[in-house]
Structure 1
């Protein structure tokens, strides 16, 4: 089976003049090498495709793959993570991870929280601020937490994200809107433990691999898991696999959110406990970082005794299983298992 790999390489964007922060979400060569090696070790043939322009060119030339392992983050706008999946959908090329609709939904943290809250899943009260002047009219109890509405890797999050009064709130909103050219999410600050839950699978087949607790070392910038703390995690952060009652509660809520948002195959859900001990949904990462050493999901798997190769294998198995279910609606589990390994994966 030929697996194409789509990705955005950080070095390419730095060479084009993007800053370290602007390129923070893109991948290093070690990530691509790790994914490719893990796939090849399980018998897959691989082909590096690269970013959207390379994918578009290859498709126009008639190139095809049995399935695409997509970790491309895209460029520009709230739908940037949806660009590669949308193009693959157009050409009916199957791919790993969530579809264009889910990726677009989950990138916008405000819209994501509306869906999660509508499903009855605990999440901190919030507001989306599009202009700094709107901050003066927010009626939520302080302290509040402020961050860009559509960034990852802790971009725009740091010590100044936690605000104590309306003056600090307005200043934070003005700074972030100007710097990142997008609205900001303002939400009630959650004072409890922070866990990230790793998930593989889709729908009712999804399961939690574990819950990683994020612990702030004495050298941490603040008690928020932001850009600086993530970038300098060796000095500023500690990670512990949580296996207590809180972890089980967090896993349950994380799976509810994963299914409600239509996420597929693998990723992470970030949770934080409120003062009453209730795990609250923070955000979901349907394209979670997959660096074999530095990314939260592989770190969690390592601590849970799950090898990197096994993680990639479970993600692939989820994608192949759901694609075969899609191609054979109503088939029994025995019929699905009996399909030959080279059975084409067809998209509706």
Structure 2
């Protein structure tokens, strides 16, 4: 869908003294190449300046890649809420979608309601224990509300009650969070990118985190080192998922589409799955507004689908533009030109 030339402000997190995230440069180049006028708005820890700087930009649309505020990833939701209160049009998931996805316990409950398979789990809070059914070791212990694999590592996989208790205590004491405890799924880890509105999303090819060079003595866990230092020797690498049956792909795609709608996500997202040795796919979590770096999972999946980086960005932009009726400008312009001829 051709869009009119828009004035777009890229909203991103940049504490004073830090370098600009490469994604901001990549997005600027892509959007400029698509014919749009681009400016950037940096966010640090000053609430009063966010709306002021956006208003000064006089943009038609904010391309929101701000995932943190004041060094707190949980405040991503608040930044979106601030824009909504200011009636700012922006790309990506709304406050509702961000909140649902950030709360991993609520996410799993919604997935179960919509009959999307997810590992059995329990929640530890204030020395209470809530569970559905019987959990079997090994288990993986995570913060109930986290992002970018914060609080997750090789030590997160526990084999007995003593290890479980110690890890739960660490999460409560160090991260001031509930502990989400899941049955650890020993199997392939795959990611499904989705682009577009919830009413008619495009499901991108499946990407796999290949642990082929991983030590068999270490649990396969995508921690921060794996995600942000992939050049480390022995680290897994992102590849196009192969050897998946058509039936399995269809099941994963269906689960991803259901989750996208159930969690009220929009424009783009990434769903993470583990495929058990039995062949059963289990959804682990949803990632609204995933990192848009050119070598990341979403861009890799888009390329496999025949979309280059600029086309991927354009698809995200189109989804938001239609929601806010910004695409109507082009149609109105054509009608005006036709009337004059």
| CA displacement 1:230-260 (0-9 Å, x = unmatched) | 2332330122212532333212211110111
Counterpart Cα distance in 2 of 1:291 and 1:54:
26
**Cα 1:108–1:178, aligned 2, differ >3 Å: closer, same or farther?**
same
Change (3 A) 1:310 1:143: same
TM-score by length of 1: 0.83
Distance in 2 (alpha carbons) for counterparts of 1:338 and 1:60:
31
Q: Does the 8 Å CA contact 1:145/1:189 hold for their aligned counterparts?
A: yes
Q: Would you say 1:43 and 2:35 are equivalent positions?
A: yes
Contact 1:86 1:100 in 2 (8 A): yes
Give the superposition deviation at 1:68: 0.5
Unaligned runs of 5+ in 2: 1-5, 337-341
The match for 2:3 is: none
Tell me which of 219, 222, 231 is aligned to 2:219. 222
What is the correspondence of 1:184-203 to structure 2 with a 5 Å cutoff? 184-203=179-198
1:283 to 269, 282, 285: 285
Matches within 5 A, 1:156-305: 156-219=151-214, 222-234=219-231, 235=233, 236-242=235-241, 244-245=244-245, 246-293=248-295, 295-305=296-306
Q: Using the TM superposition, give the Cα deviation of residue 210 of structure 1 relative to its aligned residue in structure 2, in angstroms.
A: 1.3
Distance 1:270 1:341 in 2: 42
Q: Which residue of 2 aligns with 1:306?
A: 307
- Cα root mean square deviation, aligned: 2.9
Structure 1 residue 341: deviation in Å? 8.4
1:77-136 per-residue CA deviation (whole Å, 9 max, x = no partner) reads 7851212221111121111001011111111111111111112211111122224x4469
Report the CA distance shift for 1:74/1:102 in structure 2 as closer, same or farther (over 3 A): same
Contact conserved, 2:124 with 2:130, CA < 8 A, in 1? no
Q: In structure 2, the residue corresponding to 1:105 is in which secondary structure?
A: helix
Q: Structure 2 vs 1, CA of residues 339 and 206 (structure 1 numbering), >3 Å: closer, same or farther?
A: farther
Structure-1 separation of matches of 2:299 and 2:63? 17
2:339 aligns with: none
Deviations 1:243-301 (A, max 9, x none): 532333212211110111110001201111234322111111102011223x2222333
1:30 is matched with 22
Q: TM-score, normalised by structure 2?
A: 0.84
SS in 1 for 2:13: coil
* Number of positions where the alignment pairs a residue of Structure 1 with one of Structure 2: 320
Measure the CA separation in 1 of the matches of 2:291 and 2:111. 22
**Structure 2 Cα separation of the partners of residues 269 and 276 of structure 1:** 20
